[in-house]
Amino acid sequence: MKSAGVTSIATAVTSVAVPDVGAQTGPAVLGPGDVPVALTVNGKRVDLKIEPRVTLLDALRTRADLTGNKRVCDRGTCGACTMIVDGRTVYACSTLAIEAQGKEIRTVEGLSSGNALHPVQQAFCDVDALMCGFCTPGFVVATVAVLEKHPNATREQISKGLDGNICRCGTFVRIMEAAMKARVTRG
Ligand code: FES
Ligand code: FES
């Protein structure tokens, strides 16, 4: 009985299909080490070698010298890192750089033309819509996105477009004033 049991167990084991790990299908696994990542930032190609886990914000701030957009909360709650990707605002601290390949990325550095500020940047200066300034690049980029979508935006549309951004210094009244002024002057 004992040897018959062992034989039947052995038979059962040998008949179980063993998965062939070498034949796995699906997307290629990237990382965990550095991989090439090609981004298009403010109309220019940026080639990086970074780990796939690196965020768009960290990739641009630490590897591409684009430090305009700020890292404040680093968890998708304050908007200081706001960039425009394919026409939509994103929290760059919560977006992987590798996922932004093939997309048009715009940062605050891409708004001015030479020495001429973008009308939204100029309006923020004109009405003094900042105190410490850490939130400002994100607010400027978000305001540009709103006004590109709604050139004659109402206060409500601006307010809705900026509702993902926080100013801890409390300059909201001036920020709204700047956005309304830029709406008129951006031409
Ligand atoms: S730093 Fe990205 S949302 Fe705060
Ligand atoms: S100006 Fe300081 S957080 Fe907005």
User: pLDDT, tens digit, for every residue of 167-183?
Assistant: 999 999 999 999 999 98
Predicted pLDDT of residue 24 = 62
Bridge partners of 55, per DSSP, are 96
Per cent of the chain over pLDDT 90 is 80
Is 7 a residue whose pLDDT tops 70? no
Which residues share a beta bridge with 79? none
Q: What pLDDT does 186 receive?
A: 57
- State the distance from the centre of ligand 2 to the C-alpha of 94, rounded, in angstroms: 20
- The Cα angle at residue 73 between residues 67 and 74, in degrees rounded to 5: 65
- Give the pLDDT confidence score for residue 140 in this predicted structure: 98
Supply 30's token pair. 């990237």
Mean pLDDT over residues 63-67, rounded?
97
Nearest CA to ligand 2 atom 4: 167
What pLDDT is recorded for position 42? 98
Nearest atom within ligand 1 for CA of residue 73: 4
Q: What is the pLDDT of residues 9-52, one digit of tens each?
A: 444 333 444 455 555 678 788 878 999 999 999 999 999 999 99
- pLDDT the model gives residue 4: 42
CA atoms within 13 A on the CB side of 161: 27
Residue pair 82/92 in contact by the 8 Å Cβ criterion: yes
More confident site: 132 or 17: 132
Identify the residue whose C-alpha is closest to ligand 1 atom 3. Answer: 76
Question: pLDDT tens, 84-123?
Answer: 999 999 999 999 999 999 999 999 999 999 999 999 999 9
Q: Which residues lie closer than 8 Å to 75 by C-beta, 6 or more apart?
A: 93, 94
Hey, which bits of 52-161 come out as E strands?
82-85, 88-91, 104-106
For a mutational test of ligand 1's pocket, the pick from 56, 58, 89, 91, i.e. the residue with the most ligand atoms closer than 8 A to its C-beta, is: 91
> Which ligand approaches the C-alpha of residue 129 most closely?
2
Q: What's the CA-to-centroid distance between 123 and ligand 2, angstroms?
A: 16
Tokens 């090609």 sit on residue = 38
Residues with Cβ within 8 Å of residue 116, at least 6 apart in sequence: none
In the prediction, which pLDDT does 23 show?
58
In the predicted model, what is the mean pLDDT of residues 149-160?
96
